[in-house]
DNA sequence: GTCTATATCTCGATAGAC
DNA sequence: GTCTATCGAGATATAGAC
């Protein structure tokens, strides 16, 4: 296997383990075992744990950008795009109930560790925040687009935390419906009623 | 110093470190140092890390019960009691921006570790949940009191996560105002207008 | 009840053979 | 580019003196 493929394999495994078990709780040995490598070979690709964390965050940034672009492509109206965001709570509900939100839990852990990469992790939130704000602006809410984006992001994080603690699937569905109802009240009727038909 | 005082001192220090740095990232040596004890003495009081975690969670349960009782004593109306809950986001904003919510972050970490105590930690949420539900029931919302309680708990958790990631104090104040406005819309006008005067 | 000393393990990280 | 062998540090945990 070439160096770049092995490196990518390491990043993929580390990404999964950092999410499922946490950054601190995941050892090099864990990553090497799941990637099918010896620990010695591992250090050929990554010198420090912080290096692999940076690679994981960088990979998540790229994946997030791709998802946001796909949502923008696949939905005609800004309201439908926002609904795409809301619905990841349902799509990923099983993993969220087991391990929380990948972004929120990483930011929390790095904040507690006062880790140098905590700002980089928070930038993952900013990707969603700025994208959502653009959709709200397109819905005619230029003045408070960022506040609305943060509000929706806040709700999705709150749902993720409680879904993990209580493992309550009905709660997730209820709050997603509530977020959609809130969305209705926040935006001009025309663009929303049009988009509702496509749901 | 007597055994019970030393034990309490250990639990207090562990409680703080588990919150500030996380459970996994806190070592026995850290706790012993901050408590002014040798590691050897430490093991006289607690045999395992799980034992001290159980003591920390137990202590938090007692403190939470005391806080909820104080809120019930010091506020005449259920609406004011609910506002007492909402306002811990402002009271504790500095610590929340640095280390998140003590309950939410612990539940997230224990869920990832698949720790035996994760259900016990989630019971801390249940204390707030049940208490809030009782207040909503007293406000005439018996039918959906629990859903309303979970919704408010969800919002407070979402605010805590984003406040940690973005370290944005204005965001906290804005969302607290929004929660109060939401509270207005959810409950009969009479009991709320009365309670508003006392804020 | 508190201490020092120590055992044992696993961690992140390195050296060097192939 | 991958391996085995190994290092030092720090982790949990124990033994035994006082």
pLDDT digits (tens, 9 = 90+) for B6-65: 999 999 999 999 999 999 999 999 999 999 998 889 899 999 999 999 999 999 999 999
Going by pLDDT thresholds of 50, 70 and 90, the confidence category of residue B2 is confident
To probe the interface with A, which of B30, B158, B159, B185 has the most A CB atoms within 10 Å?
B158
The answer to whether position B52 is within a domain reads: no
Q: Determine if strand C comes within 7 Å of the CB of B60.
A: no
Indicate if A133 and A106 belong to the same structural domain.
yes
Residue B97 lies in a domain: yes
The DSSP 8-state label assigned to residue A47 in this structure reads: S
Q: Note whether A19 and A64 are same-domain residues.
A: no
State the DSSP code for A22: -
What's the CATH number where B156 sits? 1.10.357.10
Exposed e or buried b per residue across B38-49, where buried means at least 16 C-beta atoms within 10 angstroms of its C-beta? eeeebeebbeee
Tell me the C-alpha to C-alpha distance, in Å, between residue A2 and each of A36, A38, A160, A164, B79: 14, 16, 38, 39, 63
Q: Work out if B33's Cβ lies within 7 angstroms of strand D.
A: no
Query: Are A177 and A126 contained in the same domain?
Result: yes
Q: Is A52 inside a domain boundary?
A: no
Helix (H, G, I), strand (E, B) or coil at B169: helix
Quick check: A48 and A55 in contact, CB under 8 A? no
Set of chain B residues whose Cβ sits within 8 Å of the Cβ of A150: 162, 166, 171
My answer on whether A41 and A71 are in the same domain is no
Q: State the DSSP H helix or E strand holding residue A121, giving kind and residue range, or none if neither.
A: helix A118-138
pLDDT, average across residues B131-141: 97
Best residue of B157, B175, B176 to probe chain A, by most A CBs closer than 10 Å: B157
How close does chain A come to B61, measured CA to CA in Å? 16
Q: Which bases of chain C come closer than 7 Å to a protein CB? A: 1-6, 10-16
Same domain flag for B36 and B66: no
- Furthest-apart CA atoms within chain B: distance in Å: 61
Q: Assess whether A19 and A114 both reside in one domain.
A: no
Q: Which residue is nearest to nucleotide C6 (CA to C1')?
A: B40
Same domain, B43 and B67: no
B104 and B34 inside one domain: no
Range of the domain at B101: 60-198
If we measure between CA atoms, which residue out of A27, A58, A158 comes closest to residue B152? Answer: A158
| Same-domain status, B34 and B71 | no
DSSP label at residue A46: -
- Within a domain: residue B53? no
What local confidence, expressed as pLDDT, does residue A2 receive?
75
Measured N-to-C along each axis, helices A3-20 and A49-74 cross at an angle, to the nearest 10 degrees, of 80
Q: What is the pLDDT of residue B134?
A: 98
Lookup result for tokens 């005619």: A140
Residue A71 contacts residue A84 (beta carbons within 8 Å): yes
Within a domain: residue A55? Answer: no
Q: Record the tokens describing residue B78, joined without a space.
A: 């259920």
On average, the pLDDT of chain B sits at 93
**Distance between CA atoms of A50 and A54, rounded to whole angstroms?**
6
Q: What pLDDT score does A1 carry?
A: 59
Q: Dig out the tokens for A32 from the structure.
A: 């090497």
CATH number for position A2: 1.10.10.60
Helix (H) or strand (E) holding A62: helix A49-74
Q: From first to last of the 199 residues of chain A, give the pLDDT tens digit.
A: 577 889 999 999 999 999 999 999 999 999 999 999 998 898 999 999 999 999 999 999 999 999 999 999 999 999 999 999 999 999 999 999 999 999 999 999 999 999 999 999 999 999 999 999 999 999 999 999 999 999 999 999 999 999 999 999 999 999 999 999 999 999 866 554 444 444 3
Instruction: Give the three-state DSSP class for A169.
Output: helix
A81 and A175, same domain (yes or no): yes
Task: Identify the weakest region by mean pLDDT among A35-49, B97-111, B126-140.
Answer: A35-49
Residues A70 and A38 placed together within one structural domain of the fold: no
d(CA B78, CA B8): 34
Number of folded domains that form chain A: 2
């Amino acid at each position: 296997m070439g160096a770049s493929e092995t490196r990518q394999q390491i990043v993929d495994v580390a990404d999964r383990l950092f999410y499922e078990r946490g950054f601190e709780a995941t050892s090099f040995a864990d990553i090497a075992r799941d990637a099918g490598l010896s620990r010695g070979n591992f250090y050929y690709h990554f010198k420090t744990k912080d290096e692999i964390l940076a690679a994981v965050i960088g990979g998540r940034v790229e994946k997030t950008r791709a998802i946001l672009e796909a949502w923008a492509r696949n939905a005609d109206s800004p309201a439908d795009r926002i609904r795409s965001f809301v619905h990841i709570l349902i799509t990923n509900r099983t993993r969220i109930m087991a391990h929380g939100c990948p972004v929120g839990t990483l930011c929390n852990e790095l904040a507690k560790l006062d880790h140098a990469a905590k700002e980089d992790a928070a930038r993952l939130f900013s990707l969603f925040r700025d994208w959502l704000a653009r959709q709200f602006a397109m819905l005619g809410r230029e003045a408070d687009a960022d506040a609305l984006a943060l509000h929706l992001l806040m709700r999705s994080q709150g749902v993720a935390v409680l879904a993990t603690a209580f493992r309550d699937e009905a709660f997730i569905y209820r709050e997603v419906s509530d977020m959609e109802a809130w969305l209705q009240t926040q935006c001009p009727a025309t663009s929303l009623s049009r988009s509702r038909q496509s749901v």
